[in-house]
Amino acid sequence: MKEKERTAQTAVRMPESWVPRLDALAAKLSQPGINVSQAAVIRAALARGIAALEAENGLLPASNAPERPAEAPIEARVPEKGARSARKPKRTSIR
């Protein structure tokens, strides 16, 4: 089994218009019983973007440059029974 890499926490500001796009990707990648988080989508996007920038700027040897951006693992969480979502769902009213 591959050893899990240590992580570092960071914060970034992004345009508000990105949030619905991230949520749409998370919903598309989620499956019944498997919830893909917004954070997992951000990690995947960053991993692909970093690999592309490295390749474009000659930071990877041509033989190691990916043909397409590298896949980042999507960490899927299966919520425990009775677990509450960290994000409050938007309330809608039916009239």
- pLDDT for position 72: 52
Average pLDDT over residues 45-69: 78
66 has a pLDDT exceeding 90: no
For 51, counting Cβ atoms within 10 Å of its Cβ (0-12 exposed, 13-18 middle, 19+ buried), the class is: buried
Q: Can you give the pLDDT at residue 5?
A: 86
Amino acid at residue number 36: V
Residues 11-44: tens digit of each pLDDT: 999 999 999 999 999 999 999 989 999 999 999 9
Distance CA 38, CA 43 (A): 9
Instruction: Record the pTM.
Output: 0.58
Helix runs in the chain, H state only:
18-29, 38-56
Rounded CA-CA distance 26/59 in Å is 30
Q: Where are the domains of the chain?
A: 18-77
